[in-house]
Structure 1
């Protein structure tokens, strides 16, 4: 008896027709999951090899850098020096309005719509520090809002970004509404304790 290619194909087809559809679907799913797992493991192994090569390269560079002149250790700062540096980093209390103008200018550069903000002055008697809290509702793209926030912190080094919240009416909207709360830490210009 002579067998041809059609004969095994016919047997396979008959076996598939007799098979339970649920078992067949489960077998196909298992094949797909096995292939996915193999692909994921291959990717992880490739990443591990690349990371090991990078670490080996870094280890080779490290001894050369260590062989050069050792950097002198900086002397630890004294407590009065730290306190003086702290008060030296604070902004001037009389310049708070100018800093708000800076915020409005940065918002305009970032392409944001900046509505009127809310402002609240405060004083911490123990630290001898004045605070000026600024709540700004802004409207624009998500990226522009973050660029504005980071630019504000760079431009006003004595400010902190205390809170930022986002609101979008619909998922597809490119425009986002956000509320930023910044605090400016200020000194009054008199001698500090």
Structure 2
């Protein structure tokens, strides 16, 4: 097709479009899009059908393999310990009341090792007569980096297994300040001095 014939065809199409109006052009566009979508669907249908059959066959093979797996081993029934053994284990895991001050020194040492500033703490002792357990609550205001405070908290829980971290709160004066003020509340669970317990 030469350049003159192509220009003639373009001119005829433009004139036809101007005579037809926007509604007719919109209808023609919808028809052409529908025909294109139908052609694409007819072209893709065999491929999609083949893919569906492949996936169905893979699912059948997986079901066959799953049914070929031998039955699971019989479940092991846990043997419950006698209640007195559990109670002895509980009291055996507690710290001893006479070592409470030593545990405070451990907390202060871990704070210093973590690079925290620890000015003074608040301590409160209590006793639960029914459970025969003593508690020693320790409130520690510390200053340092966020990471150092968490490092100290985790090290304290590892060093004193009968302690719990009950509360921790953070405060920072400026958003860019690397130093954080935190208040940590630990509770030490302690047995009577005469009871059998962990040191």
Q: What TM bracket, shorter-length normalisation?
A: 0.5 to 0.7
Classify 1:78/1:140 alpha carbon distance in 2 versus 1 (closer, same or farther; 3 Å): same
Moved beyond 3 Å, runs of 4+: 70-74
Q: Pick one of 91, 100, 108 that aligns with 1:104.
A: 108
Classify 1:172/1:127 alpha carbon distance in 2 versus 1 (closer, same or farther; 3 Å): same
Distance 1:152 1:120 in 2: 18
Are 1:176 and 2:180 counterparts? Answer: yes
Q: Pick one of 82, 86, 96 that aligns with 2:86.
A: 82
With structure 1 as the length reference, what TM-score do the two structures score? 0.62
Please list every run of 5 or more consecutive structure 1 residues that lacks an aligned counterpart in the other structure: 4-62
The higher radius of gyration belongs to: 2
Equivalence for 2:129: 125
Are 1:140 and 2:140 counterparts? Answer: no
Q: Could you tell me how far 1:71 is from its partner in structure 2?
A: 9.3
CA RMSD, aligned part only? Answer: 2.3
Distance 2:155 2:195 in 1: 31
Please list every run of 5 or more consecutive structure 2 residues that lacks an aligned counterpart in the other structure: 1-6, 11-68
Distance 2:182 2:122 in 1: 14
Q: Could you tell me how far 1:74 is from its partner in structure 2?
A: 4.4
Aligned length: 131
How do 1:33-44 and structure 2 match up within 5 A? none
**SS at 1:145 equivalent:** helix
Question: Over residues 107-127 of structure 1, what are the superposed CA-to-partner deviations in whole Å (9 max), with x where a residue is unaligned?
Answer: 111111111100111111111
Q: Pick one of 156, 164, 167 that aligns with 1:163.
A: 167
With structure 2 as the length reference, what TM-score do the two structures score? 0.60
